[in-house]
Amino acid sequence: METSVSLEIDGKKVKAKEGATILQAAKAANIDIPTLCEHEKLAPYGACRICSVEVEKKGRSQVVVACGYPVEEGIKVKTRSPKIDKIRKVIIELIAPVLSNEGMGTIKTLASEYKADVSRFIPKFKATPTRCILCGKCVRYCSEVVFRNAIGFVGRGTGRRVVFFPDRAYAYCATCQQCFGVCPTGKIGSQTTGDVFSGFSIDDFISGKMS
Amino acid sequence: MPKVSSAPALEELRRDIESKRDPKKLCIALCSGTACVASGCQSVSDAFEQELDKQGLKGEIDFKRTGCHGFCERGPLVVIYPEEVCYTNVKAEDAQEIVKATKEKKTVERLLYVDPVTGKKIAREPDIPFYKNQQRFVFGPNRWIDPRSIEDYLFIGGYAALSKALFEMGPDKVLAEINKADLRGRGGGGFPAGKKWEETRNAPGEIKYVIVNCDEGDPGAYMDRSLMEGNPHSVLEGLIIGGFTIGSHQGFIYVRQEYPVACSNIEWAIKQAEEYGLLGNNILGSGFDFHVKVHRGAGAFVSGESSALMAAIEGKVGEPKLKYIHTAISGIKDRPSNLNNVETWANVPLIINKGSDWFRSIGSEGSKGTKIFSLVGKVNNTGLVEVPMGMTLRQIIYDIGGGIPGGKKFKGVQTGGPSGGIIPEQFLDTPIDFDELTKLGSMVGSGGMVIMDEDTCMVDTARYFIDFCCEESCGKCIPCREGLRVLREILTDITQGKGSEKDIETIEEVAQVMADASLCALGKTAASPVLTTLKYFGDEYEAHIKEKRCPAKVCSNLINYYIDPDKCEACMICMRNCPGEAIQGGKGIVHWIDQEKCTKCGMCYQLCPTKFSAIVKLSGEPVPAPVPGKAVARKKGG
């Protein structure tokens, strides 16, 4: 028998299975928490931080991400608060400059909800907009669901980017394309003919032009 | 070497080593720590070997290459035992004289340390103020031992703590002792080590791991490196005791690949300990099995974060994982894993040997024991210092560090690396411990201490640390990666005179979100250097933004070089060397700088002879118009 845990989300009493995340518990209770890097088939990753919520436990409050924090008996979760709204607003503003207009879909909706100024940091963004927010859904989907590992991250810090691994991509990508559907910005689906994440086309990878 | 199979056998071995050693025998010990190697101690070592051979003294005088002694500013260092006579800045050509003098029981006066205050020569190493004001329990043994010799370590009492833990105490008593000692983690936050051990010990699961974190990467910090290089057995002994207490049979030592000597010395130490029966199966015949693997890190700063380090050991990319469960309970392969820093582990044998009461007698109320700091930057005595917790910054910087060079004024001290902050002069008398530094918005961190003088621009320093994190963040989560990117741009703009008043607000807002929402401690603390400089040096930010002025005259976009026509002797030095050909004038004609052409490289400023000091830096004030063709007024000798 599964043990169930009682908690409170936005003042509402909620029951959830032990081991469930706050996000799962909230979804079941029809409480909306925004997400960017979360996917039901993938292990929690915690990269976008947009699902940050406040958790009160034993009188102490802390910010956690709903996608990864397991429910606990008696905790009180706040999915909206001035602090949480500020976090989400700034995250949207920070990520907006990497998106070109076509990739703005989800972000635009969130921006109006959290009164974020999507052009705020554009003057401070000196790199070329990649339209990739590095949520890693494609990378993780390829690894955790398709078991191909044809896409991965390279680089660190502000130089992090997603690349196709030429040998694997050549073998699998043309016929698979399952990652297209998971990309929140549509970046990867748009790459079948154009440039790939790092600015090189997949053909360049395959033909070995890209070292 | 047959394995030592019991506690009495270990003591017998120790007595055997002691009996073979004459405490009165002369020994020349050459510091071969990182800094001394960089100062050329390899050639000094060769010279000593040759010289001893040449003078036929190989049997009479021992020669030993030890780990870091700490007084790196004066390296290469040579200490003659048993008198402990210390020679500084030793060069290969000094070897002959030192060997000869040592044999004749004389000292080489010219190589002794001269106290800058009294002007007197100091012969013995412990009498040098740099050492005298320290308490070197963890780091001190470095100077006695050859890191490659387990016999040297056994000679100074090595592995006695392990034997005591195994046969006299047992895991419960060891844990109680560590808890009672209130040993706090030396790697960053100062979390009580005993509590962490207990958590792993009590966590469910048969297989548990204990790990040494030697991923030290803070700019200017090298204490873990020097401990690992100079006394690897002390770390290993601590780790074995930890494994025994926690119930772990497998240890990992994570050392960054950039520390090749640390890597090879610890590997050597493991091999030796295994040969002696101090590591491996049935340690000292106790029935306890413990094995250790060295994991060479690929050089990521972020791998010092516990979950990232454990991912790296698993063979994955060293990136922090999303987990709300302590690594002490679920770490490597989701098994309970206890991670402590190098210095923390090295403290363990001391506590076991000398007892928790002894340990608690040192240090401050909330932080017990000593701490090794890497004292670098604008300070006279650069080096590694070990002091009791609670010593004030002033004592460290002035009594041990010898103050600021060139009569400059102290401005701030950066502690705790990129996660720490910059502490201004008004807090020089603050006792240094985990809690006090946290109150000031900084942290002890692993022990980096970068001293800054009046010529340091705090905005530029903050920009430097943010830049460091931009490179060293893993880039996984948005607040850290994009927040750092924005902070870097804002700070760069400010240092270039392009800042606006709104920037300060933006910095604070972004920094707050980074602190609240980042995935790991790197992101949560990455903005500390900016926040502390804003707090303590806010006027400098204002000067940059409002007056377009850099008070320390560092930010090249905000300064101009100007030749004082009354001081210029038209010597042509700056003119010939200006890479931008911006300096005009000629022989006998006062030089002046064409500001349009000047690239602000500062070459002229560096080259102008100090007796003239004609070149000045101006910031926030107009550059006086040049007087082309003006002849030098004062004719030399005329």
In chain B, residues with a C-beta closer than 8 Å to the C-beta of A160 are 474-476, 481
Q: Do B475 and A125 touch (CB under 8 A)?
A: no
From 3.40.50.300, 3.40.30.10, 1.20.120.1770, 3.40.630.30, which CATH number describes the B7-132 domain? 3.40.30.10
Task: Compute φ and ψ for A209, nearest 5 degrees.
Answer: -70, -30
Q: Do A68 and B324 touch (CB under 8 A)?
A: yes
Torsion of Cα atoms, B139 then B144 then B147 then B150, to 10°: -110
Tell me the per-residue pLDDT of A40-87, one tens digit each, with 9 for 90 and over.
Answer: 999 999 999 999 999 999 999 999 999 999 999 999 999 999 999 999
Q: Which of A46, A125, A159 sits opposite B322 (nearest CB)?
A: A46
Tell me the per-residue pLDDT of B455-487, one tens digit each, with 9 for 90 and over.
Answer: 999 999 999 999 999 999 999 999 999 999 999
Q: Do A157 and B470 touch (CB under 8 A)?
A: yes
HEC profile for B95-119? HHHHHHHHHCCCCCHHHEEECCCCC
Which residue has 């199979």 as its token pair?
B5
CATH of domain B458-547: 1.20.1440.230
Question: What pLDDT, on the 0 to 100 scale, is given for residue B445?
Answer: 83
- B299 neighbors B293 (Cβ within 8 angstroms): no
Q: Peptide bond preceding B579: is omega within 30 degrees of 0, i.e. cis?
A: no
Q: Do B484 and A64 touch (CB under 8 A)?
A: no
Query: Percentage of residues in chain B with pLDDT exceeding 70?
Result: 99
Residue A1: pLDDT band with limits 50, 70, 90: low
Of A155, A81, A157, A77, nearest to A114 (Cα)? A81
Tell me the per-residue pLDDT of A76-130, one tens digit each, with 9 for 90 and over.
Answer: 999 999 999 999 999 999 999 988 776 677 888 999 999 999 999 998 888 888 8
- B514 neighbors B523 (Cβ within 8 angstroms): yes
Two structure tokens written together for B185: 């983690």
* Bridge partner list, B213: B254, B341
Question: What pLDDT, on the 0 to 100 scale, is given for residue B168?
Answer: 96
Q: How many CA atoms lie within 13 A of B191 on its CB side?
A: 15
In chain A, residues with a C-beta closer than 8 Å to the C-beta of B483 are 90, 94
Task: Compute φ and ψ for B590, nearest 5 degrees.
Answer: -50, 130
In chain B, residues with a C-beta closer than 8 Å to the C-beta of A90 are 479, 483, 509-510, 513
Tell me the per-residue pLDDT of A148-181, one tens digit each, with 9 for 90 and over.
Answer: 999 899 888 998 988 888 778 878 887 788 888 8
The yes-or-no verdict on residue A205 having pLDDT over 70 is no
In chain B, residues with a C-beta closer than 8 Å to the C-beta of A68 are 322-324
Two structure tokens written together for B389: 């917790």
The yes-or-no verdict on residue B255 having pLDDT over 50 is yes
In chain B, residues with a C-beta closer than 8 Å to the C-beta of A63 are 516-517
Two structure tokens written together for B108: 């080489």
User: Tell me, what DSSP letter sits at residue B192?
Assistant: B
The residue ranges of every structural domain in chain B are 7-132, 154-359, 370-453, 458-547, 559-619
Chain B residue with CA closest to A120: the answer is B506
- pTM, rounded to two decimals: 0.92
CA gap A204, A202 in Å, rounded: 5
CA distances from B311 to A59, B320, B600 (A): 33, 8, 46
**Mean model confidence pLDDT for chain B:** 93
The complex scores an ipTM of 0.91
Which residue has 């073998």 as its token pair?
A171
Question: What pLDDT, on the 0 to 100 scale, is given for residue A130?
Answer: 82
Residues of chain A with CATH 3.10.20.740: 4-37+51-79
Of B486, B308, B477, nearest to A36 (Cα)? B477
The yes-or-no verdict on residue B631 having pLDDT over 70 is yes
The yes-or-no verdict on residue A190 having pLDDT over 70 is no
Q: Which residues contact B263 (CB under 8 A, 6 or more apart)?
A: B255, B257, B294, B296
Please indicate if any CB of chain A lies within 8 Å of the CB of B511.
no
Two structure tokens written together for B455: 């010529």
B 453-492 → A contacts, CB under 8 A: 469-479, 481-486, 488-490
Tell me the per-residue pLDDT of B156-199, one tens digit each, with 9 for 90 and over.
Answer: 999 999 999 999 999 999 999 999 999 999 987 789 999 999 99
CA gap A177, A181 in Å, rounded: 8
HEC profile for chain A? CCCEEEEEECCEEEEEECCCEHHHHHHHCCCCCCCCCCCCCCCCCCCCCCCEEEEEECCEEEEEECCCCECCCCCEEECCCHHHHHHHHHHHHHHHHHCCHHHHHHHHHHHHHCCCCCCCCHHHCCCCCCCCCCCCHHHHHHHHHCCCCCEEEECCHHHCEEEECHHHHHHHHHHHCHHHHHCCCCCCHHHCCCCCCCCCCHHHHHHCCCC
Task: Compute φ and ψ for B259, nearest 5 degrees.
Answer: -110, 70
In chain B, residues with a C-beta closer than 8 Å to the C-beta of A85 are none
Two structure tokens written together for B393: 């910054």
Question: What pLDDT, on the 0 to 100 scale, is given for residue A172?
Answer: 83
> Residues of A near B (CB-CB distance < 8 A)?
44-50, 52, 63-65, 67-70, 83, 86-87, 90-91, 94-95, 98, 121, 124-126, 133-134, 136, 153, 155-160
- B322 neighbors A44 (Cβ within 8 angstroms): yes
- B555 neighbors B544 (Cβ within 8 angstroms): yes
Tell me the per-residue pLDDT of B12-31, one tens digit each, with 9 for 90 and over.
Answer: 999 999 999 998 999 999 99
Of A124, A36, A160, A95, nearest to B472 (Cα)? A160
CA distance B557 to chain A (A): 18
Q: Do B472 and A47 touch (CB under 8 A)?
A: no
Residue B638: pLDDT band with limits 50, 70, 90: very low
Chain A residue with CA closest to B479: the answer is A91
Residue A8: pLDDT band with limits 50, 70, 90: very high
Q: Do A47 and B478 touch (CB under 8 A)?
A: yes
Q: Which residues contact B231 (CB under 8 A, 6 or more apart)?
A: B67, B139, B141, B142, B145, B147, B153, B346
Query: Percentage of residues in chain B with pLDDT exceeding 90?
Result: 88
CATH of domain B559-619: 3.30.70.20
The yes-or-no verdict on residue A209 having pLDDT over 50 is no
Question: What pLDDT, on the 0 to 100 scale, is given for residue A188?
Answer: 75
CA distance A191 to chain B (A): 22
Q: Do B323 and A68 touch (CB under 8 A)?
A: yes
CA distance A139 to chain B (A): 12
Question: What pLDDT, on the 0 to 100 scale, is given for residue A165?
Answer: 83
State the average pLDDT over residues A171-193: 75
> Angle, nearest 10°, between helix axes B95-103 and B41-54?
50
Two structure tokens written together for B117: 């205050």
Q: Do B518 and A95 touch (CB under 8 A)?
A: no
CA gap B522, B465 in Å, rounded: 12
Q: How far is CA B555 from the centre of its chain?
A: 27
Which DSSP string corresponds to B22-43? -TTSEEEEEE-SHHHHHTTHHH
Residue B441: pLDDT band with limits 50, 70, 90: confident
CATH of domain B370-453: 3.10.20.600
Q: Which fold has domain B154-359?
A: Rossmann fold (3.40.50)
Which residue has 């030396």 as its token pair?
B186
In chain B, residues with a C-beta closer than 8 Å to the C-beta of A46 are 322, 477, 519
From 1.10.1740.10, 3.30.70.580, 3.40.50.300, 3.10.20.740, which CATH number describes the A4-37+51-79 domain? 3.10.20.740
Q: Return the number of CB contacts < 8 Å for A and B.
A: 108
CA distances from B615 to A131, B567, B580 (A): 50, 8, 16
* Bridge partner list, B560: B618
Of B105, B31, B21, B19, nearest to B62 (Cα)? B21
CA distance B326 to chain A (A): 13
* Bridge partner list, B510: none
Question: What pLDDT, on the 0 to 100 scale, is given for residue A195?
Answer: 42
The H or E element that residue B265 is part of is helix B260-275
In chain A, residues with a C-beta closer than 8 Å to the C-beta of B474 are 156-157, 160
Top mean pLDDT of A165-174, B42-51, B431-440 is at B42-51
Substitution target in A57, A158, A160 with the highest count of B β-carbons within 10 Å is A158
- B47 neighbors B92 (Cβ within 8 angstroms): yes
Question: What pLDDT, on the 0 to 100 scale, is given for residue B120?
Answer: 93
CA gap B510, B505 in Å, rounded: 9
Classify residue B327 by burial, with Cβ atoms within 10 Å: 0-12, 13-18, 19+: buried
Residue A202: pLDDT band with limits 50, 70, 90: low
Question: What pLDDT, on the 0 to 100 scale, is given for residue A192?
Answer: 45
Q: DSSP strand E in B443-532: where?
A: 448-453
User: Tell me, what DSSP letter sits at residue B72?
Assistant: G
Chain A residue with CA closest to B510: the answer is A90
Of B621, B632, B610, nearest to B561 (Cα)? B621
The amino acid at B115 = D
Question: What pLDDT, on the 0 to 100 scale, is given for residue B64?
Answer: 94
CA gap B524, B320 in Å, rounded: 13
Q: Do B489 and A126 touch (CB under 8 A)?
A: yes
Substitution target in A38, A156, A185 with the highest count of B β-carbons within 10 Å is A156
Q: How far is CA B53 from the centre of its chain?
A: 36
Q: Which of A87, A136, A160 sits opposite B517 (nearest CB)?
A: A87
Chain B residue with CA closest to A122: the answer is B486
The yes-or-no verdict on residue B122 having pLDDT over 60 is yes
The yes-or-no verdict on residue A199 having pLDDT over 60 is no
Question: What pLDDT, on the 0 to 100 scale, is given for residue A189?
Answer: 66
Residue A193: pLDDT band with limits 50, 70, 90: very low
Question: What pLDDT, on the 0 to 100 scale, is given for residue B610?
Answer: 92
CA distance A143 to chain B (A): 13
The yes-or-no verdict on residue B637 having pLDDT over 70 is no
Classify residue B408 by burial, with Cβ atoms within 10 Å: 0-12, 13-18, 19+: middle
State the average pLDDT over residues B548-570: 94
* Bridge partner list, B445: none
Q: Which residues contact B314 (CB under 8 A, 6 or more apart)?
A: B332, B333
Substitution target in B322, B323, B506 with the highest count of A β-carbons within 10 Å is B322
